[in-house]
Structure 1
């Protein structure tokens, strides 16, 4: 939701950063890899009990994840391979945070909730990617970007709350699961409408 409706507010910063990184010789794919490795470092900080540093690094990773797309558009170098890297690395970074939290909180209840969170993310992303592959609609991405209650920014906010307030990890995880399920159902119903219209 925030990605869809709030993008214009932060786009100038993203565009200027993209322009600067292109000027110093980096490509969009370079920044995709950098964002990925920074995201993995965030999960390492979370695992070693440095939640504030972990969250700050996670958001830096997320910012660069937005910048790489802007770089690709500015340099007219958007590619299907870049999209594959982007989507895949996003999920690995998310899994890294979940695994780090699971290792720090091996209680059965927490592990079960984190498992259900992973399942809910898989459910939502499966719909998102399938609709993106099947729909002929276009967006600023290289495939149809289906809006929803939980987009990348909402995910980062909820991961941040989980990491920063681990005393209430169960509550934040349940909220995250509910948001993911609502988003998945929202996208599923929209997919049914879109694909019917395209017949």
Structure 2
């Protein structure tokens, strides 16, 4: 819902940043893996109640997620890179509510379980639709810069990040 308004404003900044990263030893997949490794740090930080440290890890993960895509578009998108990116994104999205559940199992387990339930629903419908869109050759001009059909809506990346910031 918000991504389509935010992306045009953020994309030029990401492109300028990625121009400095476009070096032979730096790959989009490498940035994806580095971003995921940093994002995984949010889990123990949340479990320990270190919410500011968790917020920094979450923000860095999302920044690197934007940079990996910008570098991939600069060099040429790949199916393998798109698969790696979306797979690690969904794992990251799941570990954040799990971290909150670990921080306070008595009070946070139900809200965390509800958020995980919502992520499973949106993630599976997102990927199922992307599969059918590819099968039926449905184009998506609004998100032509994505590796595969990108289904926008109420729970896009911006909304998810805002929720994580609010919870932290």
TM-score normalised per structure 2: 0.89
Other structure's SS at 2:151 match:
coil
How far is 1:133 from its partner? Answer: 1.4
Bigger mean CA offset, 9-18 vs 109-118: 109-118
Cα distance per residue 1:94-120 (max 9 Å; x no partner):
22211111111111x531221121111
Q: How does 1:58-69 map to 2 (within 5 A)?
A: 58-69=58-69
Q: Is the 8 A contact 2:46 2:102 kept in 1?
A: no
Give the number of equivalent residue pairs.
161
Counterpart in the other structure of 2:125: 127
Counterpart in the other structure of 2:159: 154
Pair 1:115 & 2:113 matched: yes
Structure 2 CA distance, aligned partners of 1:103 and 1:53? 16
Measured at CA, do residues 113 and 42 of structure 1 come closer, stay the same or move farther in structure 2, by a change above 3 Å? closer
Pair 1:17 & 2:17 matched: yes
CA RMSD of aligned residues (A): 1.4
Counterpart in the other structure of 2:91: 92
How far is 1:24 from its partner? Answer: 6.1
TM-score normalised per structure 1: 0.76
Cα distance per residue 1:22-73 (max 9 Å; x no partner):
1363010000001100100122222222111211221111011011111011
Q: Is the 8 A contact 2:28 2:72 kept in 1?
A: yes
Counterpart in the other structure of 1:142: 147
Pair 1:81 & 2:117 matched: no
* Largest Rg, 1 or 2: 1
Contiguous gaps of at least 5 residues in structure 2: none
Q: How does 1:154-173 map to 2 (within 5 A)?
A: 154-163=159-168
Pair 1:4 & 2:9 matched: no
